[in-house]
Amino acid sequence: MNITPIIFIGKHDHFSMAKCPWKLYHCKHKWVENHPRKNSPLFQESILPNPLLFAKILVVDDEVEVCNTLKEFLEGEQCHVDVAHDGEEALAKISDFQPYCVLLDIRMPYLNGMEALKMIKDRAPDVEIIMVTAVASIKIAEECLRSGAFGYVTKPVDLDHLLKEIQSALEHRQKILADKKKLGLEKQEKKELEEMNKLLNKELFEALQFPILILGFVQQEFSVHSRNVAWLSQKIAEQLNLPHNRLCSLAGLYHDLGKLCLPPSIKNREPKTWTPAEKKIYENYPIYGQDLLQSHFHLKSLGSVIRYHCENVDGSGFPDRLKGEDIPLESKIVALANAVDEELIQVQKRNIETDMEMATKLLRPIERNLDIKYDRGIYEALIKFLKNYKAPPPDEEVGIFGLQRKMILSRDIVTQSGKLIFPKNFLLTEHRIDKIMDLNQVDPLRDPVRVFPEKKT
């Protein structure tokens, strides 16, 4: 059988081709399994990813010979192919076969191609459709494209260029599906965040803070930093009117969780002394933190926020090199809150609620990294919060023998060896006062005890 000269009309180009014998033409399309270099990595890279591989193609034409020819050809390209001989049969196979692409003849009995095109796109909008007709009419082609067709091919069909049009249609379909999947994941993540915030009632919210509080008795500075970042993250989220501000608080509280998995050889040395392997391990600590939280179903969304808090808006962060809007808003909030507290660490200010008023003097390094590391919109929310912030009433220094029941600690009580006795906001009782005095005899307090002048409300 010979292929006669044809004209091809599609979305992109116009082509013509001299006639060529079917066997000679078919030999130009090399099968992977028969290729002499099929095991070569360069060859495999050159053919992958191939959208034609195992693609499901439905051929719809009332001419049996046309259907059989196209079916044989496309199966030679390793596609799954089914055929239908009129529009009604095609509609039935849309549900049963679920094709990726349809080659649809325009002139058919019972239900013509133009009517079938609209009905197929209505039932299966992700299916790409290439119209096939014996009439080369620009007007008909434009009408097909307006109705949702991807391309328009005239008979007799140039198989070479038809294959290119099918491949373009499949690539377009893959892109559309990938965009929908991304959008679906974003919607799912948003839904999970909303569900997470609903679950964070007061009791659960306070319970989730307890592990970091307990950790403070072993790693006091870790606990202080975590609580400071949590407090500021929630304040920024409230300034932005986010409905899930408690989630931001918990993300700030647990943002460094993965660092507990790091070996001492990394934690106890300056970053500039790390080997490449050690640097790689450090840059994976957000993933380690996420993994620790993934075991609890209701904490999965919290794990996602923690994973991305070290990403930079210009894409230079870690572990996934996300950039801009791909980074969750909550992660960017935690990143900025973390940066602010790190500046407070440099000037040895560790009570963020009391020391927050001086934070405006420490923001120069952060300002230099806006649109590089930090989101400008979140930074503006921070500045607005600082302008309106009113620190709590000044705390008072109390001698150890002046401690009384019902006093509330305004700062952590820490010994000279770095052990936490009680964190701030603890209510003093007789038993707790006795504990402070007993421990002070063995491991003296690092700083004087400071309390709020009256019970905090």
Does one domain contain both 272 and 312?
Answer: yes
- Kindly indicate the confidence band of residue 5, based on its pLDDT and cuts at 50, 70 and 90: very low
Q: What percent of the chain has pLDDT over 70?
A: 85
Residue 291 structure tokens: 């993994």
Q: Whole-angstrom Cα distance, residue 311 to residue 130?
A: 43
Residue 190 lies in a domain: no
According to the model, what pLDDT value does residue 325 have? 92
The residue among 391, 411, 432 that closes a domain is: 391
Query: Is pLDDT above 50 for 38?
Result: no
Q: Is residue 192 part of a domain?
A: no
In tens, the pLDDT along 287-341 reads 999 999 887 777 778 898 999 999 999 999 999 999 999 999 999 999 999 999 9
Q: How far apart are CA 95 and CA 294, in angstroms?
A: 38
pLDDT tens track for 148-181: 899 888 888 889 889 999 999 999 998 888 888 8
Residue 86 forms part of a structural domain: yes
Whether residue 118 sits in one domain with residue 49: yes
Asked if residue 402 and residue 363 are part of one domain, the reply reads: no
Rounded percentage of the chain residues whose pLDDT exceeds 90: 49
Domain contains 188: no
For residue 130, being part of any structural domain is answered with yes
| CA-wise closest residue to 26 among 79, 81, 73, 80 | 73
CA–centroid distance for 313 within its chain: 13
Same structural domain for residues 344 and 438? no
**193 assigned to some structural domain:** no
Shared domain check, 51 and 144 = yes
Question: Where does the pLDDT of residue 432 fall: very low under 50, low under 70, confident under 90, or very high at 90 and above?
Answer: very high
Does the pLDDT of residue 205 top 90, yes or no?
no
Same-domain pairing of 250 and 160: no
pLDDT at 49: 59
Cis preceding-peptide flag for 264 (omega within 30 of 0): no
Instruction: Please identify, among 391, 407, 425, the residue that sits at the C-terminal boundary of a domain.
Output: 391
Q: What domain count does the chain have?
A: 3
For residue 175, the domain's CATH number is 3.40.50.2300
Residue 244 near residue 197 (C-beta atoms within 8 A) = yes
Q: Say if residue 382 is in the same domain as residue 432.
A: no
Q: What are phi and psi of 84, to 5 degrees?
A: -145, 150
Average pLDDT, the chain: 84
Output the domain CATH number for residue 430. 3.90.105
For residue 107, is it within any domain?
yes
Find where tokens 């950039």 sit: 323
Model confidence pLDDT, tens digit, residues 112-143:
888 899 999 999 998 999 998 877 777 887 88
pLDDT band at 200 (very low <50, low <70, confident <90, very high): low
Tell me which of 30-44, 187-201, 356-370, 391-405 is least confident: 30-44
Please check whether residues 311 and 423 belong to one and the same domain: no
> Would you place residue 199 in the very low, low, confident or very high pLDDT band (cuts 50, 70, 90)?
low
d(CA 73, CA 162): 11
Same domain, 144 and 286: no
- Element at 26 (helix H, strand E): helix 22-27
Do residues 72 and 32 both lie within one domain? yes
Whether the predicted pLDDT of 454 surpasses 60: yes
* Same-domain status, 296 and 425: no
Find the domain containing 268 and state its range: 200-391
Read off the pLDDT band of 375 (50, 70, 90). Answer: very high
Alpha helices in 124-158 (DSSP H): 138-146
Helix extents (H) in 49-158: 64-76, 87-97, 113-123, 138-146
Residues 231 and 146 in one domain: no
* Boundary (domain end) residue, out of 391, 417, 434: 391
pLDDT at 15: 34
**pLDDT (0 to 100) of residue 2:** 40
Residues 6+ apart with CB under 8 A from 427: 406, 407, 408
In a domain, 194, yes or no: no
Quote the CA–CA distance of 166 and 201 in Å, as a whole number: 54
**Mind listing the pLDDT tens digit for each residue in 83-116?**
999 888 999 999 889 999 999 998 887 788 888 9
Say which residue, 19 or 205, is predicted with more confidence.
205
In whole angstroms, what is the distance from residue 170 CA to residue 57 CA?
A: 10
- Give dist(CA 195, CA 426) in Å, integer: 31
Residue 293 sits in a domain whose CATH number is: 1.10.3210.10
Nearest-angstrom CA–CA distance, 95 and 275: 57
